[in-house]
Amino acid sequence: MWRLRECSLNDEQLGMAVGLSGNAIRNRRSKPDLWKLSDVERLATYFALPVTACVQLNQVLTELPTSLKNLPPDERRRIERKLLFKIAQLESYNQSDWPIRYLLRMHQSLVRN
């Protein structure tokens, strides 16, 4: 995100470069928790930064619902409580896109537990 602050492009130009509208870029700059995982990956690609973390995180998130479904119910519920998400929510965000704020919320919950 520090590259974003240093970027000389205006919001419209940056939006066109990464496939978002200028208004979306403006909104995300003022409210960083609106960024989505795919946005971060596109920004990294644009700024020639490694996307390995985005790709790996996306892979783990995609596999997570299936892994949870294969657990015994008690264990599954315990993990859902730790993650602060149910399987249906995980599947929904895997289909649409993960807002960064929810990934951060999940991370903070796991660190606390």
DSSP string, 29-84: HH-GGG-BHHHHHHHHHHTT---HHHHHHHHHHHHHHHHHHTS-HHHHHHHHHHHT
Residues 6+ apart with CB under 8 A from 76: 68, 69, 87
| 42 and 87 co-located in one domain | no
| 8 and 59 co-located in one domain | no
Q: What is the Cα gyration radius of the chain?
A: 16
Number of domains in the chain: 2
| 57 and 108 co-located in one domain | yes
pLDDT of residue 2: 67
| 40 and 58 co-located in one domain | no
Quote the percentage of the chain above a pLDDT of 90.
79
Structural domain that includes position 82 = 53-112
pTM, full prediction: 0.83
**Element housing 85 (H / E):** none
What average pLDDT is seen over the chain? Answer: 92
Residue pair 14/7 in contact (Cβ under 8 Å)? The answer is yes
Quote the percentage of the chain above a pLDDT of 70.
98
Query: Tens digit of pLDDT per residue, the chain (113 long)?
Result: 667 778 888 899 999 989 999 999 999 988 988 999 999 999 999 989 999 999 999 999 999 999 999 999 999 999 999 999 999 999 999 999 999 999 999 999 999 87
Q: Partners of 99 in the beta sheet?
A: 36
